Structure 1
Amino acid sequence: MSTIEPSTTAAAVTAAVYVALLAGHHLGDYPIQRDSDAQSKGIPADEVIAAGTPWHTGWSSITRHVLSYLACQAGALWLVSLVAPLTLAGVWTALVVSGTTHAVIDRRWIVQAIIRAKGGCQHWPGAATCIDQALHHVMILVAAVGAARITTLAGAVYETAIGAAGIGAALLWEHRHARRVQARQLAATSRRDR
């Protein structure tokens, strides 16, 4: 995997890509996102899974949201490419990193885990939104650095494989979580029936 050496150009590309991805993020995550997708893209709540809703409910909504989100980011990157030396491999890498991480973060279980780890956020009403956006911004920075560092097709393919593995890991976690929820529900039901 060939990369460009750290330089002023690489730093400028990183900054330009970050700004473009962030502009696309704000457009795609707010005015462009369908309200129905915003409502249904998260993993179902435990009680909903326990009642029989499939664990993968919401993935069609998150997929639709991420595709429109990436279209906004791609448009912003195209504008930046008019004045900055972006490579196709770098742009692809940025979009893969941004899109895959956006999908996983927007399933909301990572945000919920952070809130639980903090002991809750009772006195911080906007905690979930702020944590969600902080995670997105960090991953947009990672995507921007990737755009500056990855300059070959092989590098872009490698990053795509990592993104696919990340989605696969998220799906596996969600499936296992749903099985734990259903097992707890079954145990509670059998205790009640005794």
Structure 2
Amino acid sequence: MFASLFVLLYAAHLAADYPLQTDHQAKHKSDRCAAGWRANLAHAPTHAATTALALVAVTTILDLPIGVLPALLALVGIAGTHAVIDRRWPVAHWMRIARQTAWAQNGGAAHVDQTAHVLVLVVTALALTTTS
């Protein structure tokens, strides 16, 4: 069950982060102003919606038992953590602590960002597996 959940959560993440994210959201979601928050808070629900579709697929097509409350908590958790990670300061902070400033200046932040999102999906898939 874990593998199926993780693959579908990851596919939903990729869809929400790339083809379903607007250029405006990608460019401004970390801006430290009201417009940045609006872009960020427009992008995060896209993750909730695509994840909801993935969970519907898991429960109907694959017939895996996922309760409504665990599914709702997963949606809130994924959208919420995605919004925080996408503000970019957590990634920048981590890269400073890990002494990765040169890598950050050469495109490494995008990899650390995606790794953080994937770790959230792993934890979510594990939680859904253990609560079902």
Q: How high is the TM-score relative to the length of structure 2?
A: 0.87
Query: In structure 1, what is the Cα distance between the partners aligned to 2:103 and 2:74?
Result: 35
Could you tell me the percent identity over the aligned residues? 33
Q: Say if 2:93 is the partner of 1:113.
A: yes
Richer in helix (by share): 2
Equivalent position SS for 1:98: helix
Query: In structure 1, what is the Cα distance between the partners aligned to 2:122 and 2:76?
Result: 13
2:126 paired residue number: 145
Contact 2:44 2:82 in 1 (8 A): yes
Which residues of structure 1 form unaligned runs of 5+?
1-11, 45-53, 152-194
Give the superposed CA RMSD. Answer: 1.9
Query: In structure 2, what is the Cα distance between the partners aligned to 1:134 and 1:123?
Result: 14
Contact 2:8 2:54 in 1 (8 A): yes
Query: In structure 1, what is the Cα distance between the partners aligned to 2:67 and 2:104?
Result: 45
Q: 2:68 aligns with which of 83, 88, 98?
A: 88
Equivalent position SS for 1:31: coil
Contact 1:111 1:131 in 2 (8 A): yes
Query: In structure 2, what is the Cα distance between the partners aligned to 1:68 and 1:97?
Result: 13
Contact 1:32 1:69 in 2 (8 A): no
Query: In structure 1, what is the Cα distance between the partners aligned to 2:125 and 2:104?
Result: 34
Q: How high is the TM-score relative to the length of structure 1?
A: 0.61
Query: In structure 1, what is the Cα distance between the partners aligned to 2:73 and 2:127?
Result: 6
1:158 paired residue number: none
Contact 2:103 2:109 in 1 (8 A): no
Amino acid at match of 1:32: L
1:136 paired residue number: 117
Which residues of structure 2 form unaligned runs of 5+?
none
2:52 paired residue number: 74
Q: Say if 2:28 is the partner of 1:40.
A: yes
1:15 deviation in Å?
Answer: 2.6
